[in-house]
Amino acid sequence: MKIGVLAIQGDVREHVHHTEAAGADVVLVRLPRDLEGTEGLIIPGGESTTIGMLMAEYGLLDAVMQRASDGTYPIYGTCAGLILMAKEVIGFSPARLGLVDIDASRNAYGRQIASFEVDLEIPVLGEQPFPAVFIRAPKIQRLGPSVTPLAWHHGEVVMAESGPYLVSSFHPEMSPDLRIHQYFLEKVKRAQAVAGVS
Amino acid sequence: MQEQRGTYNVKAGLAEMLKGGVIMDVTTPEQAIIAEKAGAVAVMALERVPADIRKAGGVARMADPRIIKSIQEAVSIPVMAKVRIGHFVEAQVLEALEVDYIDESEVLTPADEQYHIDKWQFNVPFVCGARDLGEALRRIAEGAAMIRTKGEPGTGNVVEAVRHLRAVNAQIRQVVATPESELPDLAKELKAPLDLVKKVKELGRLPVVNFSAGGIATAADAALMMQLGADGIFVGSGVFKSQNPEKTARAIVRATLHYNDPKVIAEVSEDVGEAMPGLEMASLEAKDRMQDRGI
């Protein structure tokens, strides 16, 4: 299985490591041609303004949208990636994909001093809590009817999925736990099965 | 579940998010907006850029909190600010202002010639300068969650930035090649804690993110430092002392992303106007070398 990791800026190295450790081959995606042959895409954390702007400039927003047009191309966005995948964003957001029906609020937990780590219960991953790292994290302020919440912190949704798309406001690549990357690779397998049938 | 703030994971984590990006020195909200629109991943809020600090002479201190606040209000990207080496009260002030990262910086006049700040006491993360591996590991031992090689600030001359990054990389290779049993001796030679030297051997790199700083003035300079292995770029005077800051800022951001693609670097370097005026190292007197402060 070949997974693209968007390599414009941010926590690329850690996502590459986790994705490979979970059993997939990784392609670094900097330009539209890098998407060829990938069966899914991970958008790492970083600065969403920088990543969105540079994706637009180098034709990557259009290329990813085209790839996603038949609804069988799984994409996982973490932190900045969640912002880029949100339909609406509260705060400065020069460019994004808008594939998931959520409103995201940038830096909603506050500045760096409010960043934190916490063990989260994530039912789809089993009983063992997941060590989640939140860094200047966004909040999901609204979920559309097509979006399923997967994890909560203080009653607020911090991880969700919608069709082939997965988003989390925290960074699963910053703890050694591979379960979320494995969960995403399972989604990629299911999407391939669906694409194969149709 | 209990939230934990200010953990090392969280502090070093923000630096990880900045990787592959450019952090720009700014002195006004207007400059901060130019930096954000050009694609900077963070800004460093200052009263003067290093080239002007150099010119002004005298004692350079932490910026006026009003400047920092006005920049925090102007942009959504992280805002960093500098404190004098060893001046832990300036650091307390910046923590109270909720800056996202504190740079304990040789660009300002050191407040303590013996001790750096005990950075473990803070919830806000720190970045510190280093000219070699030993210096980098000493700062990490004091709690720094990010390193930048020092270069020579405010000169627009990349030669010292190259020297320092090459020195760090060469020493990392030496640590990796040294057998475990000889590491204690090497640690002594580097004047670095043994546990961190062991960590470097295990990882084959510094345990935290390492940006390049001090003298980067053009898109090609930025790509040079990235090809030499920097995780990202600090540009001090290079943007706002150039003839056309908007174009220079955009070019440096794009060259940092596509550092391995000379065609892109050529494209973005075209027609950006004059870079900042540069200084030859031989023209600097010993007292004017900022890199020798706080080692």
CA distance A177 to chain B (A): 14
Q: What's the pLDDT at B215?
A: 96
**Active-site hit among B82, B119, B201, B247:** B82
Q: Specify the pLDDT at position A118.
A: 97
Using a CB-CB cut-off of 8 Å, the residues of chain B touching A110 are 98
Q: Phi and psi (nearest 5°) for A127?
A: -75, -35
Tens digit of each residue's pLDDT (9 = 90 or more) over B182-225: 999 999 999 999 999 999 999 999 999 999 999 999 999 999 99
Task: Determine whether the interchain pair A112/B124 forms a contact, defined as Cβ–Cβ distance below 8 Å.
Answer: yes
Q: Which of residues 69-88 of B touch A (CB under 8 A)?
A: 72, 75-78
- On the question of pLDDT at B128 being above 60, the answer is yes
CB contact under 8 A, B254 and A133: no
Interval A160-198: pLDDT, tens: 999 999 999 999 999 999 999 999 999 999 998 887 765
Tell me the average pLDDT across B168-172.
98
The pTM score is: 0.96
Task: Report the DSSP pairing between strands A156-162 and A165-168.
Answer: antiparallel
Q: Mutate one of A50, A134, A153 to test the B interface: name it (highest B CB count within 10 A).
A: A50
> What would the pLDDT profile of B220-278 be if each residue is shown by its tens digit?
999 999 999 999 999 999 999 999 999 999 999 999 999 999 999 999 999 999 999 99
Q: What is the pLDDT of residue A197?
A: 62
Planar angle of CA A46, A52, A56, nearest 5 degrees = 145
| Annotation says B82 is catalytic | yes
- Interface residues from chain A to B (CB-CB < 8 Å): 7-14, 30, 45-47, 49-50, 53-54, 57, 79-80, 91-92, 94, 106-107, 110-121, 129, 133-136, 153, 171, 174-175
Closest approach of chain A CAs to the CA of B6, in angstroms? Answer: 7
The residues of A annotated with a catalytic role in the active site are 79, 171, 173
Average pLDDT over residues B73-82: 97
Q: Is the pLDDT of residue A116 over 70?
A: yes
Closest to B261 in 3D by CA, of B226, B232, B231: B226
Q: What is the pLDDT of residues B279-293, one digit of tens each?
A: 999 999 998 999 999
- Domain assignments of chain A as residue spans, ordered by start: 2-197
State yes or no: pLDDT of B124 exceeds 60.
yes
Is B125 part of the contact surface with chain A (CB cutoff 8 Å)? Answer: yes
Q: How far, in Å, are A44, A67, A136, A179, B169 from residue A15 at the CA level?
A: 7, 21, 18, 13, 24
Residues of chain B with C-beta less than 8 angstroms from the C-beta of A174: 9, 13, 16
pLDDT in tens, A141-164: 999 999 999 999 999 999 999 999
- Contact (Cβ atoms closer than 8 angstroms) between residue A29 and residue A7: yes
- Domain A2-197: give its CATH architecture: 3-Layer(aba) Sandwich (3.40)
B76 to chain A: which residues are within 8 Å by CB? Answer: 49, 91-92, 106-107
What mean pLDDT value characterizes chain B? 96
Q: What is the pLDDT of residue A13?
A: 96
Strand segments (E) across chain A = 2-6, 25-29, 40-43, 75-78, 86-90, 100-105, 116-120, 130-134, 139-143, 148-153, 156-162, 165-168
- Looking at residue B1, what is its pLDDT? 63
Please give the residue of chain A at the shortest CA–CA distance from B41.
A47
Q: Does B249 touch chain A (CB under 8 A)?
A: no
